[in-house]
Amino acid sequence: MSTDPDVNKRIVILGGGTAGWITANALIDRWGDKGIDITLVESPDIGTVGVGEGSTPQLKVFLDSIGVKESEWMPECKATYKNGISFANWSTKPGFERYFHPFASQSDRFTTTAFFFNTLARRQGVDVHAHPDRFHLAARLAENRQGPKPDENFPFVVDYGYHFDARLVGQYLGGVARARGVKHLEARVLQVNQAGDGDIASLSAEDGRLIEADFFIDCSGFRGALIQKTLDVPFLSFSDNLFNDSAVVLPTAQVQDIGSQTVSTALKYGWAWEIPLTHRIGNGYVYSSAFCSADDAEKELRGVLGLLDSNVEARHLKMKVGRLANHWHRNCLAVGLSQGFIEPLEASALALIELSAAMISDQMPATREDMDIVARRFNDWFSYRWDRIIDFLKLHYVLSRRDDSDFWKDNRSPETVPERLRELLELWRYRPPSFRDFHQIEEIFPAASYQYVLYGMGFRPDPAAHERRLDDQVAAIGCFRTAEELALKYLRGLPSNRELIEHFATRGLKRN
Ligand SMILES: Cc1cc2nc3c(=O)[nH]c(=O)nc-3n(C[C@H](O)[C@H](O)[C@H](O)COP(=O)(O)OP(=O)(O)OC[C@H]3O[C@@H](n4cnc5c(N)ncnc54)[C@H](O)[C@@H]3O)c2cc1C
């Protein structure tokens, strides 16, 4: 970690969506008192993408790290708590039509042991319960619409994410960053000026202003105004692996009993999300334009939501699926949609933004020479992360047995499955996923996540392939009963999601 950078005294961030403001906050928090000048430039005329309403627990890690309190930002951003994601109709296997990908809680230490034992027993052909939902506190909380924050004397830490209005989060974080010293320019950048060596030297704005800096962060969204349009960094498409490149969005009214999970329901040509905020429910259908027109997608979503006769306006979006070959090139780093896009099935985009912002804050190069080394390391880390997310998302499609359209059938074609995932699936016929299959310290989706999807969708390899002793399974059954009783006891200590959100107004700041 650099302590006193010589060159990066002036940093310009282009773009004021969530990527721009998260990065600005991370930088000002770490470098604000070290003489570094941080300016964020955005064009209100262009605006932000304004979607992206669900997070992983990584967002809490980030907000805690910069000292932003839930009691302050959540009410402003219409935010609710999220225990994980429920997947409906992804698998047609009886008993596995629905499963939950939970955020972890410390109490799961007891129950996940039972889960793993039972999955092993099941691999040997023993018919024990190995659906993940009964083993995890988060699944129970979601089912009961309970929030994940217990009273102070609850003995375990419970991880959670949030649902929120993405536009309001951008605005809120913008206010925090400005108050802490980030300069804010409203200007449309028309031209990017390069120095003789190819580095970016300055940006020319529509109003004639010249914006100079030593280091540029491209948060300009799908435009990729600096890294793609100016520096010509190649874009690697993933459209052969993940087909979804379009979305249609339709809000509905919130209900009294606020849910505490994202629901992802498989539809004919993709899947629909349902995200509960305090003032509305966010809904959207992510689909592939190669299989379905925008009109048909809107009609299918309206049908699901009971809005066929409603005049609520739908919003349509097109997405470019893939990532940059290099996220950091010369004196320019891309963060957010300019870095790439993969369908939001597991809400991984904001996690990548937070991890990118954390890495640049932590690894700020001290010299121009140093910058190329840090850039290579960043590119290694983030290429690995992007590629593992593709594997993980593709797993959902590979395991599905839906055959109601070519979309689902083609998704299972071996040539659409990334090679590493194909190998792992072969390996997992003989043994379960192991932490050794995943190498990074901050793995976004570790082996446990793969287990939830595999067993949640009813994966059951040939029992003959396994050699483990059956008495493990006996231990598992006892262990599971104790764990289940324990989980049911914990549940009694936790409030409903609405109670938890409303306590900010009624009981003040006690929980945060
Ligand atoms: C359908 C959909 C659903 C999603 N759901 C989720 C989800 O549930 N969870 C999740 O984590 N992520 C989700 N995402 C991703 C998430 O929305 C984005 O990663 C996130 O909002 C970051 O966007 P951004 O800041 O990179 O880009 P944007 O919000 O597009 O911001 C771009 C900024 O650049 C500025 N700009 C661009 N060009 C110029 C210029 N020439 N001059 C000046 N300013 C310029 C714009 O004004 C704007 O401020 C979803 C994305 C889509 C498309």
Q: Tell me which residue has tokens 């959670």.
A: 160
Asked whether residue 210 carries a pLDDT value surpassing 50, the answer given is yes
Which of 337, 354, 444 to probe ligand 1 with, by most ligand atoms within 8 A of CB? 337
392-431 pLDDT per residue, tens: 999 999 999 999 999 999 999 999 999 999 999 999 988 8
349-382 pLDDT per residue, tens: 999 999 999 999 999 998 888 999 999 999 999 9
Question: Which of 127-131, 285-289, 293-297, 477-481 has the lowest average pLDDT?
Answer: 477-481
Res 483: pLDDT: 64
Cβ(283)–Cβ(249) under 8 Å? yes
Res 334: pLDDT: 98
Using CA atoms, how far residue 201 sits from 193, 218, 434, in Å, is 6, 14, 47
82 in catalytic set: yes
Nearest CA to ligand 1 atom 49: 16
Taking the CA of residue 220 as reference, the ligand 1 atom at the shortest distance is: 34
Ligand 1 binding residues, C-beta < 6 A: 14-20, 41-43, 46-49, 51-55, 166, 188-189, 219-221, 223, 225, 247, 284, 317, 319, 336-338, 344, 347, 349-350
Asked whether residue 105 carries a pLDDT value surpassing 90, the answer given is no
Angstrom distance (rounded) from CA 367 to CA 40 = 22
Using CA atoms, how far residue 333 sits from 200, 202, 338, 375, in Å, is 11, 15, 9, 8
15 C-alpha to ligand 1 centroid (Å) = 9
Which of 332, 72, 359, 36 is CA-nearest to residue 180?
36
203 C-alpha to ligand 1 centroid (Å) = 20
Q: Which helix (H) or strand (E) holds 323?
A: strand 322-324
